[in-house]
Structure formats: C-alpha cells, structure tokens
Chains A and B, each alone.
Chain A
Amino acid sequence: MKFMIAVLATAVFATSASAQKAVELLNVSYDPTRELYEQYNAAFAAHWKAEKGQEVTVNQSHGGAGKQARAVIDGLEADVVTLALAYDIDAIAQKTQRIPADWQTKLPDNSTPYYSTVVFLVRKGNPKGVKDWDDLAKAGISVITPNPKTSGGARWNYLAAWAYAADTLGNDDAKIRDFITRLYKNVPVLDSGARGSTTTFVQREIGDAYISWENEAHLALREFGADKFDIVYPPASILAEPPVTVVERVAKKHGTLEVATAYLEYLYSPEAQEIIAKNFYRPRNEEVANKYATQFPAITLFTIDEKFGGWAAAQKAHFDDGGTFDQIYLPK
C-alpha cells in the first residue's frame, strides 16, 4: 500500500514538473470587444499550448472604457489592457506608472492591431438621404450618438464630425463650431454609452441616423436585421484606433510578462487578424484586409494626430469641462 502511494506521488510530481504550471491573464477591455476576445482567447490558448505546452486562461473584464481605465488606476490587476482610446491608457500610465510613458511605440501600428472608423446607420432605404456629415447638421434630421462626456466611443464620433468640418470649412473655427452646434442640436437623446444609443435607435426607433463605430453598425445589422437598416459610408471619416498594451509592472509582479506580451503580439498574426475581420474590426494584415475588402470600403480617414495633435490635446480642447462640447449647450 505504502509502495503504491509512493509510486502515485512520484507519478503526479513528475507530470506536474514536465508540463509547466497553468497561467492566468486578466485582459481589461471595453464593451464592444466582448465577442472578439471570446474567440481570440480560445485561439491564443491553443497557439500557446502548441508553442510552449502551457495552459493559459484569459479572464476578461468588459465595461465602459473610462470606467475600465479607472478600475486599473484604482488597483485592478490587469496584465493587459485593450481599450477604446489612447487617452485612457495614457491616464493609467500617468497616474500609476504601471505602464511606461512610451507604451504606444511597443507594438506595430501605434499598438493598435485593429482599427475601425465611424459610419452612419440609417433606416432601410435611407429615407432622409443621409450621405455625408453635412446632412446630419441639416434641419429636420434627428441624429443619435452617445454622450461624449461619458462614452469614449462617442468622442471619436464627435471628432470625426469636427475633422470633417475642419476639412471642408477651411479650419475656420467659428464655422466649425456653428456646424457642430447645428449637428448636436439635432441629437434628441445623449445616451451614456454606445450600446444605449444602439437601443435608442434600433428598439425605440428614435432618430434618422445613428453615428456609430463601423463594427457596431455591422453588429446591429446582424443582430436586428439587414432588412431594417443600411450602413452609409461618408466620403471621409476618422481613423479610430483602439490600442492595446501590457501593464508591465503588474505582469512582472504576476510573472506573466512573457505570455502577456505574446498574447498581444499574436493579435497581429494572420489567424488572429481573420478573427478580427470576422468581428467587423478592420485588420492590419494586408492579405486579410484584401480578403475582406468588400466588407470594409476604402474611405478617407483623418487621424487624431494630424487633425487634433494627439488625444491629450483633443480631450482638453473638446471634452474637458468648458471644452467645445460643453459650449454647445451653454445658455447664450
């Protein structure tokens, strides 16, 4: 009997020593990536198992991007963050030093393995003939977009409209403000988040056009029926880059730096880029991009850097208290 136990014990010990200990990662992300990372995590786990023979479990946390960033600042021990805008990751870097200040140079394409843009979702057949941004500012059009003060995604919408106006109205500040004011006066409801706005537009049937991220617009078509809505691509829009990075100090503490880095790098692999395209984010990989070209029409994409001088400047000028967004609603 004793001998049996000894044999069993050695056997157990031997197997656990040969295979590496299972590892866990926490990926703190924002709301609309839920489906994407569900599929990607399974793919990465298989890849890591084949490569290193180690089991990896990726735990996901989803929520509004700003709220998620605050959770990490307040001590949520994320190994990696995959958020909606660089501003939120900058905030983590500044407030906690858990992420190096030059985080955005660590991975290709500004640390954004996928990108997207802002498009319009309209009622089937586009009864109001919405084609471009200036149509949204016309009288008699009702526009749905979330509140940029509470929704990270909605800030891209606002900046897209602003970039369009700056481009067509020749950087005339007064004219741009007038355009933005007319557009936002057409917005009857400012939901606190993007999914709330989708509900308002789709279920409550409020609004003629819904300014939405491309991936959310495609999801809405898939979920609620392509027979009810159309996606309208304006000739120009914003380049929306949701960035990813390793929270270095936490990963070092957890001893997960290697697997966390590999987790983000693998996002750029052809296999992962397929998953990304299937979830309606635009892939960086050229071959995959060509394969899905019909799904992602080419339009002019303005960048935050060229039009606004980076996220920190854009946030300060437009969305901080007293910024251009607040001024729209100030009593005159």
Chain B
Amino acid sequence: MPILNKRHSVLPGFGIAAGYTVLYLSLIVLMPLAAMALRAATMSPGDIWALITDARVIAACKLSFGASFAAALVNIVFGLLVAWVLVRYSFPGKHIVDALVDLPFALPTAVAGIALTTLYAPNGWLGKLLAPIGIKVAYTPLGIIVALTFIGLPFVVRTVQPVLEDLDREIEEAAMSLGATRLQTFLRVLLPSVLPALLAGFAMAFARAVGEYGSVVFISGNMPMKTEILPLLIMTKLEQFDYAGATVIGVLMLVISFVLLFIVNLLQRWSGNRATSH
C-alpha cells in the first residue's frame, strides 16, 4: 500500500476518511444533482432558453433572489445585534431568548407562513396597525421578505455567536483606552473579526431563503408577475406533469445560487485573510 505509506499528514486514516467523504458526498449531494441535470438535459437547448427567458420566470427570478438578498441583509444587521446582546450582556431570561433564536429552525415552515400571514393580513394584529399608514405586508413582496427574514435569522446568530464569544472583551477595552471612539472600535476592531462569520451566516441565510417554499406561499398571495417565487413556478410545472421544465428551473436556481455563494465564499476568504493579517 504505497499510497497510504506516504506521509500526507500526521493524522492517521486519511485514505479511509477521504474515501468516505467522496462516497458520502456523491450519494447525498452529487447523485441527486446529476439526476437533475440529466432530466433537464432532456429538453432541447432552444426550449431551455425559451423557458428561462420567459417573462414570468425572469420576474420570479428577480423576486426570489432579490427578496432573499434583502432578507439576508436585514439578518446580518439584526442577527449581529442579537448575537452581540446574547454574548456580551447577561440579563434575566437570557437562556430563554437564546433558545427562541432557534425556533425558526424547528418550526414547520408552513406553520410559520400561516402565523405570519395571520399577523400581517389587513385584519391581523400588525396588519391592522400598518394598513392606515398605507403599508401592506401580507400578499406583497414585503411580506415575502418578512417570511424569509424569519427563517434566516438563526443562521446569522448561530454563526456569529461563537466568534463573538472567543473575542476577548479586553481587546475592545484596549481599543477604547487607546482613544478609539465607539464607532471606531466597532468598525476597526470588532467588525473585521466577525466579518468572515457574518458572511458565512449571510450565505446560509440567503441560500436557505432562495429555496424556501412552505412559508412564502401563504404570505405572498402567488400573483403571477408580482409575488410569484421560483419554487412556486417549479410547483406549477409539476402540476402539469412537466418534469423537465421543473428541473430546468431547478438547475437555473442552482447555478445562480452557486455563483452567488462562490462570490460570498471568496469575499469571506478575503476578509478572513485581512482579519488575520491585522
């Protein structure tokens, strides 16, 4: 066994671990994706092009990715805040608040969608207050962003929290005692350290939001060209037993998501390098 005898690493078991990793990833991730690509390839390139340049698909594409992006942005601001409060302060009931953060993970998304719609519908608790000032949430793109923000929150909080916990309070105190303002401390000391984690949280919240179906269909109203998300278009294709068309949209979503996540990954690496070189 010459390969195993080569000293790749001081840790034993590389061969087995690598083999297992490749097998596992193939079974769980690559094979379903390959099956999808094959199914999509049963359509002619001309048909595929006509499908993905269809006005409705483009409108849904903009909405799905736009709303997911907006929701992930909201989450990195407020998720960071939540993580910060949970790490730096102690207050009664902190453990309960900490546990609350995970609820969007656990709740079936349809339940979340129905609950949010109940709140934000024109006759709901919040909808009733917002309606007189002309803000409509349920059955508008804003409602979709609200639902996606809800399901994405834990991703940001849970990725940033451990990094903040590792960050010594003394570093901030040192910055302050050396004359940095609060804003400078935040921007120059705190943010660079948590930025990689924040970006990772952003990427996860974003990716989760793009694929979300259950909660969104209840609050969006599903109006063609206006509040129709890509996963709903996939469902409508399936209702026509158009499996190929459905997978083409699926592959389209995958490709766009992959490119975007790849960019986020690069950004994350870049910010990570910057943080460590400081």
Asked if B56 contacts A326 (CB within 8 A), the reply is: yes
Report if B168 contacts A (CB, 8 A).
no
Instruction: Confirm or deny: A66 has a beta carbon within 8 angstroms of a beta carbon on chain B.
Output: yes
- B238 in contact (CB, < 8 A): yes
How many angstroms from the CA of A66 to the CA of B225 in the assembled complex?
23
Contact B121 A331 (CB under 8 A): no
Which residues on the B side are within 8 Å of A149 (C-beta)? 236, 239-240
* B236 touching A206, Cβ below 8 Å: no
Q: A204 touching B117 by the CB < 8 A rule? A: yes
Does A190 reach chain B (CB closer than 8 Å)? yes
Q: Within B135-153, which residues are at the interface with A (CB < 8 Å)?
A: 138-139
Chain A residues within 8 Å of B221, by CB: 188-191
CB of B139 within 8 A of CB of A188, answer yes
A189 near B222: Cβ-Cβ < 8 Å: yes
Chain B residues whose C-beta falls within 8 Å of the C-beta of A95 in the assembled complex: 241
Given contacts A150-B235, A192-B222, A326-B224, contact A321 B122 (CB under 8 A): no
The reply to whether A321 and B241 form a contact with Cβ atoms under 8 Å apart is: no
Q: Which residues of B contact A196 (CB under 8 A)?
A: 217-218
B55 at the interface (CB under 8 A from A): yes
**A191 with B222: CB separation less than 8 A:** yes
Chain B CB within 10 A, most for which of A191, A192, A203, A320: A192
In the docked arrangement, what's the CA distance between A321 and B249, Å?
Answer: 14
User: A123 to nearest B CB, angstroms?
Assistant: 13
B154 at the interface (CB under 8 A from A): no
A315 contact set on B, CB distance < 8 A: 240
Residue A289 is within 8 A (CB to CB) of chain B in the complex: no
Which residues of chain A are near B242, meaning CB under 8 Å?
320-321
Contact between B121 and A206, CB atoms less than 8 A apart: yes
Chain B residue at minimum C-beta to C-beta distance from A320? B240
Assuming the contacts A192-B235, A204-B117, asked whether A70 and B222 have C-beta atoms less than 8 A apart, the reply is no
**In the docked arrangement, what's the CA distance between A67 and B234, Å?**
12
| A330 in the interface (beta carbon within 8 A) | yes
The CA-CA distance from A332 to B235 in the complex, in Å, is 25
- How many A-B pairs fall under 8 Å by CB? 74
Residues of B within 8 A of A (CB): 54-56, 114, 117-118, 121-124, 138-139, 217-218, 221-225, 232, 235-242, 245
Complex Cα–Cα for A35 and B238 (A)? 27
Instruction: Report the minimal beta-carbon distance from A94 to chain B, rounded to whole angstroms.
Output: 9
> Which residues from B are CB-within-8-Å of A91?
241
Bound-state Cα–Cα, A203 to B121, Å: 10
| Contact sample, A vs B, 8 pairs, CB 8 Å cutoff | A190-B223, A199-B114, A204-B124, A205-B122, A315-B240, A321-B54, A321-B237, A330-B55
Q: What is the distance, in angstroms, from B117's C-beta to the closest C-beta of chain A? A: 7
Sorted from nearest, which 3 A-B pairs have the closest CB atoms?
A: A329-B224, A149-B236, A189-B221
Give A8 to B239 CA distance when docked, in angstroms. Answer: 56
**Chain A 227-260 per-residue mask, 1 if CB under 8 angstroms from chain B, else 0:** 0000000000000000000000000000000000
Distance of B244 from chain A, by nearest CB (Å): 12
A204 touches B121 (CB 8 A): yes
B241 touches A331 (CB 8 A): no
Check A147 against B222 for contact (C-beta < 8 Å).
yes
Return A100 CB to nearest CB of chain B, in Å.
Answer: 19
CA separation between A114 and B238, bound complex, in Å? Answer: 27
Chain B residue contacts of A326, Cβ below 8 A = 56, 224
B217 touching A192, Cβ below 8 Å: yes
Q: B114 to nearest A CB, angstroms?
A: 8
Partner of A189, one of B55, B123, B139, B240: B139
Q: For the complex, give the distance between the alpha carbons of A329 and B55 in Å.
A: 10
Chain B residues with CB below 8 A from A69, complex form: 241
Residues from chain B with Cβ under 8 Å of A320 in the complex: 240, 242
B138 to chain A, nearest CB (A): 8
List residues of chain B with CB within 8 A of the CB of A152.
Answer: 239
Which chain A residues lie closer than 8 Å to B222 at the CB level? Answer: 147, 150, 189-192
A272 to chain B, nearest CB (A): 30
Q: Is B239 touching A331 in the complex (CB atoms < 8 A)?
A: no
Is the Cβ of A329 less than 8 Å from the Cβ of B122? no
The distance from the CB of A31 to the nearest CB of chain B, in whole angstroms, is: 14
Q: Taking the nearest CB of chain B, how far is it from the CB of A230, in angstroms?
A: 20
CA distance A321 to B240 in the complex (A): 9
CB distance from B4 to the nearest CB of A (A): 42
